[in-house]
Copies of this chain bind each other. A is one copy, B any other.
Amino acid sequence: VQATLREQQRVRTRASILRVAAEEFDKRGYASVALSEIAARLEVTKGTIYFHFSSKAALASAVVDMYLSAWEALLAEVARQELRGMAALRWLSARVARNYRDEPGVRAPLRLMRESDVIGIDLPTPFLPWVETVTRHVREAQKLGEVRRGLEAETVAWQIVAGFFGAQEISHQLTASADLVERVETMWDLLLPGIESRDPS
């Protein structure tokens, strides 16, 4: 595909808007961020933003979409890693924790999805896809004999996701996510004994 100069410019501008918007939404929440602030930071006018996104809500939606693409890429990476069962989940959670700590573009969508009722448009339900993904891995772990009998995969997956996002939230509030990675590690240490088969006799 040949890319005109014009097209390159457009793509770059659109990306920079998304980046700055993600940072601001992450820091201050949807309702408190003014489009004029985003425009000012980029040294463009609101008109430019409205050329790329039809409304403020659409911009937020695009920020969320960008994040979902990132998740899909991450999942593909897990598959490539050839990790199975709980080990895959542990690796994945560490990866996500690092991303969340370091990338505003990853934190922003989470905040936006929580505020979806305020935004007024339908954003993808936050945690459901995660529970589903984790459930698939737990089922795999069950087949590998890593899970105590009598536990439902979905139930276990739900608790894992809850523990992870709880850690994320509290670490974010108390230490600006600085200790998130090790907290997630600890979570696994405490959680695995309750999941794994007690006596493999």
Residues of A within 8 A of B (CB): 27-32, 114-115, 117-118, 125-128, 131, 155-156, 158-159, 161-167, 169-170, 173-174, 183, 186-187, 189-195, 198
Contact = CB atoms under 8 A, between A and B. Distances in A.
Question: Which secondary structure characterizes the binding site on chain A?
Answer: helix
25 contacts: A28-B117, A28-B118, A29-B29, A29-B31, A29-B115, A29-B118, A30-B31, A114-B169, A125-B173, A128-B174, A131-B170, A155-B186, A156-B190, A159-B183, A161-B170, A163-B187, A164-B166, A165-B166, A165-B170, A166-B169, A169-B169, A190-B194, A192-B194, A193-B193, A193-B194
A183 to B, nearest CB: 7
Q: How many copies does the complex hold?
A: 4
A37 to B, nearest CB: 13
A126 B166 CA distance: 13
A165 B169 contact: yes
Contacts of A166: 161-167, 169
A200 to B, nearest CB: 14
A174 B155 CA distance: 14
Shortest 3 CB-CB contacts between residues of A and residues of B? A166-B166, A31-B31, A162-B166
